[in-house]
């Protein structure tokens, strides 16, 4: 069993809580433990079913007419339905454990993208914040979600850039993410 190293001064921008600076020396602590399942990340069984086989998928961008309110955030009411290839890529990432990492970064969650899934007449909203690489499930049954792994974030950004090809902010985020190492 490994032990927690003592904290060191960061030599670059750190997105973790100060007491978690030791994570730079022990990246394995950002892995979900063996046996983790999608149901453990999203305890809502209906949401898991929607991720695995949704009836519809729409991607909404923050801003626009701002008439779609999800908690305290406003999104464009008109969402984009991804083409088949992009839909499959997005759903593959949402269902893949390697697209996630445990949450815990210090950030004021501020999602720029909403993915709305429907299944059996029920709507499920997933919110994506690329400032902190966190994603989460919104109300009515708040709970669930996690951090995005680097490859997960890259995949989501690819999907969102294809859905919104003229969105300069998403393109800039994608370029920033592509410059990061593996």
The answer to whether position 159 is within a domain reads yes
The answer to whether position 107 is within a domain reads yes
The answer to whether position 26 is within a domain reads no
The pLDDT assigned to 25 comes to 63
Residue ranges with strand state E in 20-101 = 56-61, 68-70, 73-75, 100-101
Tokens encoding 135: 């994603």
pLDDT tens by residue, 35-85: 888 888 888 899 999 999 999 999 999 987 888 998 888 999 999 999 999
What are the backbone angles phi and psi of residue 130, rounded to the nearest 5°?
-90, -5
Tokens encoding 117: 């899934």
The answer to whether position 63 is within a domain reads yes
The pLDDT assigned to 2 comes to 32
The answer to whether position 170 is within a domain reads yes
Mean pLDDT per 10-residue section of the chain, whose length is 182 residues:
34 39 60 86 90 97 88 92 97 92 72 95 92 69 72 94 95 89 61
For the chain, what percentages of helix, strand and coil (3-state, to nearest 5) are there?
35, 25, 40
The answer to whether position 89 is within a domain reads yes
What are the backbone angles phi and psi of residue 61, rounded to the nearest 5°?
-100, 145
The pLDDT assigned to 142 comes to 52
Q: Which residues contact 55 (CB under 8 A, 6 or more apart)?
A: 118, 119, 120
The CATH number covering residue 140 comes to: 3.30.1490.410
The pLDDT assigned to 49 comes to 95
The answer to whether position 101 is within a domain reads yes
Query: What's the total number of domains in the chain?
Result: 1
Tokens encoding 168: 């300069």
Q: What is the residue range of 119's domain?
A: 43-179
The pLDDT assigned to 21 comes to 45
The pLDDT assigned to 24 comes to 58
Q: Which residues contact 128 (CB under 8 A, 6 or more apart)?
A: 111, 112, 113, 114, 115, 135, 148, 156, 160
The pLDDT assigned to 5 comes to 35
The answer to whether position 120 is within a domain reads yes
């Amino acid at each position: 069993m490994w032990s927690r190293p003592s904290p060191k001064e960061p030599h670059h921008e750190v997105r973790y809580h100060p007491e978690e600076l030791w994570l730079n020396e022990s990246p394995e602590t950002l892995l979900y433990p063996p046996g983790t399942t999608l149901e453990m990340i999203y305890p809502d069984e209906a949401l898991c079913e929607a991720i695995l086989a949704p009836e519809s998928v729409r991607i909404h961008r923050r801003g626009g007419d701002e008439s779609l309110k999800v908690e305290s955030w406003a999104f464009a009411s008109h969402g984009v339905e991804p083409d088949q290839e992009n839909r499959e890529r997005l759903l593959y990432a949402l269902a893949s454990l390697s697209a996630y990492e445990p949450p815990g970064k210090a950030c004021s969650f501020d999602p720029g993208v909403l993915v709305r899934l429907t299944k059996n007449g029920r709507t499920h909203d997933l919110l994506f914040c690329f400032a902190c690489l966190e994603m989460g499930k919104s109300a009515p049954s708040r709970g669930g979600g996690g951090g995005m792994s680097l490859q997960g974030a890259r995949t989501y950004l690819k999907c969102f850039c294809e859905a919104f090809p003229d969105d300069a902010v998403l393109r800039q985020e994608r370029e920033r993410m592509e410059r990061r190492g593996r």
